[in-house]
Amino acid sequence: MTRRLEIIAKHIKGGKVFADVGCDHGIISKYVLDNGLADLVIASDISSKSLQKAKNLLNSYGDKVQFLVSDGFKNFTITPTEAVIAGMGGDEIVSILEGATSLPNRLILSPQKNQRKVREILIRKNYKICDDYTIFDNKFYDIIVAEKGEDFYLELELVFGRDNLKLRPKDFIKKLSLEEKKFIKIFNENGLDGKNLDLQNYLEQIRKVLYEN
């Protein structure tokens, strides 16, 4: 398992029905099955070709695992108690959460982009965000764990993730330092103008976190 998948796996509590949405290779499903964490694992993917990889990996687990071609939760007939949705963009995760008629009590999400939109929808859909931080595993990834409940996020928490601001993990500080350098280079090359206002605001937020806390 890669470091990213190991970290995701450690957040799985298990229970009655676990879903690995966008399972592709099926490694997360295998972890849940091998550790006896759930009564039933639903390995699902929008692509039957991707799902075939999970079928190949998990063909010895019998009726402990179900395979489902599904766009998000759309073809699910059972609401899982817990789900991992990882390795896709934040917009895709938002559309999966918007498109579901009912959602698991616990979600472990790892959006590759647009993390802010994922945090916003979780709060709008009455989730409490339990863990929210950045890790490095060849690239930077955000891990967002949420359970049904209520929550409120401040602006900077929406942008960067609450645990990143509270705990300042070294991977997160490394990401911000690299982004700061990257944006300074862009501004030095192109100058500051109205066209890159969003980037300028983002750079200010990065500096606030790096130097004012």
Ligand X SMILES: C[S@@+](CC[C@H](N)C(=O)[O-])C[C@H]1O[C@@H](n2cnc3c(N)ncnc32)[C@H](O)[C@@H]1O
Minimal distance, residue 89 CB to ligand X, in Å: 9
Give contact residues for ligand X (rule: CB under 6 A). Answer: 21-24, 45-47, 50, 71-72, 86-88, 92, 96
Query: Quick one: which of 209, 201, 93 has its CA closest to 161?
Result: 209
Closest approach of Cβ 88 to ligand X, in Å? 5
DSSP strands (E only) in 24-138 = 38-45, 65-69, 82-88, 106-111, 127-137
Q: Which of 45, 142 has the CB closer to ligand X? A: 45
Least Å distance, CB 132 to ligand X, is 17
Measured N-to-C along each axis, helices 48-57 and 27-34 cross at an angle, to the nearest 10 degrees, of 30
Closest separation between CB of residue 149 and ligand X, Å? Answer: 25
Parallel, antiparallel or unpaired: strands 82-88 and 38-45: unpaired
Cα separation, 190 vs 61, in Å, equals 57
Residue 80 vs 183, nearer CB to ligand X: 80
Residue with tokens 């929550």: 151
Q: Which is nearer to ligand X, 45 or 132 (CB)?
A: 45
Which lies closer to ligand X via its Cβ, residue 46 or residue 156? 46
Whether residue 83 contacts residue 37, with contact meaning beta carbons closer than 8 Å, is answered with no
Question: Which one, 98 or 204, has the nearer CB to ligand X?
Answer: 98
Q: Give the residue nearest to ligand X (CB).
A: 87
Q: How far apart are CA 208 and CA 213, in angstroms?
A: 7
Rounded to a whole number of angstroms, the minimum distance from the CB of residue 47 to ligand X is: 4
Write down the least CB distance from residue 97 to ligand X, Å. Answer: 10
Q: Considering the complex, state which of residue 54 and residue 206 has its C-beta at the smaller distance from ligand X.
A: 54
State the first-to-last Cα distance of the chain, in angstroms, to the nearest integer: 35
Q: What is the CA radius of gyration of the chain?
A: 19
